[in-house]
Amino acid sequence: MSESLYDRIGGEAAVNAAVDVFYRKVLADDRINMFFEGVDMEKQAAKQKGFLTFAFGGPHNYTGKDMREGHAHLVAKGLNDSHFDAVMENLGATLTELGVPADLIAEAAAIAESTRNDVLGK
Amino acid sequence: MAKITYAEQSYECRNDESVLQCLTRHGVELSSSCHAGVCQTCMIKATTGTPPADAQKGLKPQLQQQGYFLACVCTPTEDLTVVNPDEDVMPQIAATVIDKTAFNDAMLRLRIKPETSIDYHPGQFVNIHRDDGLVRSYSIASQANDDYIELHIERLPEGRMSGWLHDEIAIGDKINIDGPHGECFYIDNKPDQNLLMVGTGSGLAPLWGIIQEALAKNHQGEIHLFHGSHSAQKLYLINELQQLADNHANFFYTPCISGPENKGFKAGRANELALSQFQILGGWRIFLCGHPDMVNDTKKKTFLAGASFNEIHADPFITQ
């Protein structure tokens, strides 16, 4: 069996390296940072870690139902494809910045992309 | 086989299972997500026993030191008593007021001596409980080896607890406290790191304690304190801090006044002045104490300026 994406990308150390960079990009991005106004940064950082672990093909416990329920309040505030695209862009830029090879970035992006309909409640 | 005690019930943890699996198997529900020691959703705290270091990876050292660990990746090597940090109720301890000194009309220095000594770091906080059930949190300004706990009480408009402490409590009286709580304290793992501290009002109390501890532990990096208020009336320990800055080449003190009466002080808000002086904060450790809006706003801004999330410590107090 070939090594998993999570192992090839660098596992937990990669998540730890990526989380600050990714979260900083998201908070600085005026297209999406209004969704993060007033949220508890500690809790949010842990969620970002969970998301990155998931996108890196790591162990997780998410179901489509969790994704729907977790984002429903944001969909009600207008969360749509353009915002999802912005997050995808930040994810790609984060991994590029950390020197992750393009083929692995594509794999991670595909995993993240697979949540689009659940996140947007479609 | 280790025993896990949670909410006064003990459970046998099998050798091949994590604390999280053991508790789940016994019907105890903890929030969890990744089950891989990454997302930190299942972080709990050991109040007795030492969790293995592997289960504390990625946590702030301040949390590691207090026994926090990730239940999903903890295969315990010894018996542990664990609590959910959100439900961590500590026993109340009686403490005697041994000193009450006004810094000025608004700020009171209260020193109390607990009946059983508590092990704390300056910068952590205790809760004061009044007999009618009123509870307020106050940060600790004294050092661990002092034989009292020093708190700075800011008189707040309509403040029931602060009014009571200012006007009614007298030396010799007993009050009930619990604690310590919080992870806003100094740790000497990076002596060359620069420290940025921003405090408003009695948010100086934890910072005062942290500065003293850092200097006592011979911290080598620069320590910059911006203490601010709307008016000079709520700045205090000004001479002591200036003295400290005169005696330590790596300590810098900037008292700031955001209101119109700012003669002799830096004009502006402490957090804004700090962020304009230090625009790139990668590698810095940040301490933010005081008004919750200031703390939350500055947490975000210092993070965006490059400070690592694990190196931002904050202690907002409730203004009521």
Nearest CA in chain B to A55: B34
Residue B189 lies in a domain: no
| Beta carbons of B39 and A46 less than 8 Å apart | yes
> What pLDDT does residue B60 have?
83
Of B181, B203, B238, the position where a domain reaches its end is: B181
Shared-domain flag, residues B199 and B310: yes
Please check the confidence at residue B319 and state whether its pLDDT lies above 50.
no
Q: Which sign, positive or negative, has the C-alpha torsion B126, B131, B136, B140?
A: negative
User: Among B132, B140, B146, which residue's Cα sits nearest to residue B175?
Assistant: B132
Of B148, B181, B214, the position where a domain reaches its end is: B181
Residue B215 lies in a domain: yes
CATH assignment at residue B115: 2.40.30.10
Q: In the structure, what pLDDT confidence band is assigned to residue B316 with cuts at 50, 70 and 90?
A: low
Q: Cβ contacts (< 8 Å) between A16 and chain B: which residues?
A: 58
B32 and chain A: CB distance < 8 Å anywhere? yes
> What pLDDT does residue B24 have?
92
Of B29, B58, B87, the position where a domain reaches its end is: B87
pLDDT in tens, A72-120: 999 999 999 999 999 999 999 999 999 999 999 999 999 999 999 999 9
Q: Cβ contacts (< 8 Å) between B296 and chain A: which residues?
A: 41
| Beta carbons of B308 and A41 less than 8 Å apart | no
| β-pairing verdict for B223-229 and B195-200 | parallel
> What pLDDT does residue B317 have?
61
Nearest CA in chain B to A51: B39
Please identify which residue in the block is written with the tokens 């934890």: B206
| Beta carbons of A49 and B37 less than 8 Å apart | no
State which residues form the domain around B78: 2-87
> What pLDDT does residue B183 have?
87
Mean pLDDT of chain B: 92
Please check the confidence at residue B156 and state whether its pLDDT lies above 60.
yes
B11 and chain A: CB distance < 8 Å anywhere? no
Residue B232 lies in a domain: yes
- For chain B, what is the domain count? 3
Q: In the structure, what pLDDT confidence band is assigned to residue B139 with cuts at 50, 70 and 90?
A: very high
Residue B122 lies in a domain: yes
The 3 state secondary structure assigned to B225-284 is EEEEECCHHHCCCHHHHHHHHHHCCCEEEEEEECCCCCCCCEECCHHHHHHHHCCCCCCC
Shared-domain flag, residues B232 and B255: yes
- Domains of chain A are 5-119 (1.10.490.10)
Exposure string of B153-189, with b = 16+ CB inside 10 Å and e = fewer, is bbbbeebebbebbbeebeeeeebbbbbbbbbbbbbee
Q: At what angle do helices A102-113 and A81-97 cross, to 10 degrees?
A: 150
The interface predicted TM-score (ipTM) is 0.81
